[in-house]
Chain A
Amino acid sequence: MPTPVTQAPSAFSLDAVRTGEPVSVGTVARLAEEVAFLNGHNLVKAGEADAPLRQTGAGRVSLTGLAYTLRVPYTRSSGARVIRIAVEIHESSEILDSQAITVTLPTGATWLDAGGLDGTATFFNPPVGRTTPMEIVGFANVSGVTASMTQEIEVATTPTSKGAGVRRVTLHECPLSSLAVSSSEPGWDAAATRSGRPVIDGGSASPRGMQRLFYLLDQARSAWRQHWCLSGVESANASTSNTQTPHWHRQSATEGEIDWLLNAPVNDPNWYLQVRDLYAGTASAWKLRVRYRTSSAVDCELKLYHQGGSLSANSFSGVGTEGSTAVTLTATSGAWAWTTAVSVSLPRDGTNGLVRLRLTAKGPGSGELLSIACVDLREDEA
């Protein structure tokens, strides 16, 4: 009997489980409902890729007519069987302004409904001045995907000479309506906890029994990840001019701010998140990867700074000292590459797990350029 997936956790009182009294099948049924919520409904929203138009006044390479790729790092959580991929394209005032959009899925995934995102459709840009978004949506079956920390959704845009390209990519796992009576997904047999049934031991590979519930509980802890990413443009444009490149970049060989292509920013951007803080006192384990390109044979570096703290009165107050994690960007001499993942311990001493992040980099030096397309930070709970 499939288990309906609830859209809310249950407000269960521990008074129902009393020392010295037998554990009733009713309280075990609550365990089953809660694992259904955690593994079936509360699924992952992956980070987004964002490609705003470039300020072109100073010779900056425009996105119009530029073929480029956006990447959304994604690790499948154990309950997900379908993902929703939505893409928005930029407005344009040009005639015959169009592009094909080709989404490359992780190994094992197949399209349920590509919505033209498999490169077979020609998408024409909406007119300039339109505030209403136009989402292009596809759904993919990911039930055959083996979760990996190196997986991603890759969105390539191939424009005509006036095609304005992709503005945004967003990715969400689709909540389930029910858990199957299956051991291959986080399945559970709701009949196992019907009134009158004995509470059995079971096993992790069986869709019923206490051991199975323990297994599903552990899946909701260790196979469920927070996804953080900054994802932008990756193209074949090889400009090494820091006033022209369409990519986020750093030229100087000393550690400093990355040029995020903002229009005259005053302060370097910081980002904020709340970690799960599962163990009350233990740092949160994450993996950091970077998609980058160096124009020369000089190694570069990216450094992630992290600090717990709180926000009040329009300012951040840190606790403890700011930590950092550096990742070496081995020279690629013009080719885009991912770094291998490095471990990051995010602090959990901020208020409700609040953490501030900021990024710096060392470039290759004068006349050369470090380009960055994606900074991928994914929770790596053991």
Chain B
Amino acid sequence: MPIGQRVVTRYIKHPPPASGYLADGDPLDSGSAHIVHSNLSHLSERNIRLVAHALGPGEVDWQGAWSGVIDETQIVGVVDVYSLIPWYRDRTAKAFGPLALSMARVQTAPAGLVPRKVRVVVQGTKSTQSGTTLYVYAALTATCDTPIRSLRYATATASKAAGGSDTLCVFDLLLTPELVRPTQEWPCREASSGLGATATITPAWVWVGWRSTTTAAPSGDPDTIESISVFEVWE
């Protein structure tokens, strides 16, 4: 059970505070208590954050993807698919976040609480150039650095091969992190308050990258990336 039990899968509005609905000395009936517990569980599931919505670059310039990159090296024959692209923005990637992760799922092996899943939806167009493929990658990283150098909490990939005509593709990638540990402290309150002024949290960045085996016009017919949507999901 990732969240608390619900009476019904919806929020049930209750009388506002100070309405005289629950005066001192009145019994707190279990039905009301059930509704309040259910509402809290429902919000814990449904208060999902929208991380980012952005535009893509349009045409994917894959032939020039590694050109001019100074702090990363292309390794031929590499088996880690997330090292196939340099994650050089905005040519082959976009980065979003950080998102302070909220633990909202239960995992059993190993046991513990794990963060909400993050959904990445990428709209692109696969061109007609024969024998080519458009690949899309997503990674949830522990630092703002690229997925090549950063710890990855979760990854996902999708692809589309050339068909008979330009094909609108909506790639749906789900980032499913496993157990994570807090890595940073952020200020959360002015230090003069006399209360805890920092909170220990687990920030994560979302990287979205792409690779295409098409070649440039006019001899080739490049694929395109048109939009990117990133948001948390409820289970």
Is A5 on the interface with B (CB-CB < 8 A)? yes
| Distance from B172 Cβ to chain A, minimum over Cβ atoms (Å) | 4
A135 touches B199 (CB 8 A): no
Interface residues of A in 18-66 (CB under 8 A from B): 18-23, 27, 30-31, 34-35, 37-38, 41-45, 47-48, 50, 52-53
| Distance from A106 Cβ to chain B, minimum over Cβ atoms (Å) | 16
| Distance from B135 Cβ to chain A, minimum over Cβ atoms (Å) | 13
B229 touches A7 (CB 8 A): no
A48 touches B37 (CB 8 A): no
- The verdict on A131 contacting B88 (CB below 8 Å), with A271-B227, A311-B172 known, is yes
Q: How many A-B residue pairs have CB under 8 A?
A: 331
| Distance from A46 Cβ to chain B, minimum over Cβ atoms (Å) | 9
B22 touches A201 (CB 8 A): yes
Complex contacts, A50 vs chain B, CB 8 Å: 52, 54-55, 94
Q: Bits for B162-186, please: 1 = Cβ < 8 Å to A, else 0.
A: 0000101111100000000010001
A174 touches B188 (CB 8 A): yes
Complex contacts, A84 vs chain B, CB 8 Å: 98, 186
What is the bound-complex CA distance between A112 and B188, given in angstroms? Answer: 10
Partner of A213, one of B26, B36, B56, B99: B36
B187 touches A82 (CB 8 A): yes
B233 touches A274 (CB 8 A): yes
Is A11 on the interface with B (CB-CB < 8 A)? yes
Is A262 on the interface with B (CB-CB < 8 A)? yes
Closest 9 CB pairs of A and B: A262-B58, A263-B58, A9-B44, A269-B227, A8-B103, A12-B4, A204-B17, A129-B70, A177-B196
Which residues of A are in contact with B by a Cβ distance under 8 Å?
A: 2, 5, 7-15, 17-23, 27, 30-31, 34-35, 37-38, 41-45, 47-48, 50, 52-53, 81-82, 84, 86, 112-113, 127-133, 135, 139, 141, 143, 167-168, 170, 172, 174-178, 180, 199-201, 203-204, 210-215, 217-218, 220-221, 224, 226-230, 260-274, 276-281, 311-312, 314-316, 352
A/B interface sample: 8 pairs, CB < 8 A: A8-B102, A14-B37, A17-B30, A19-B30, A42-B49, A172-B98, A210-B28, A226-B49
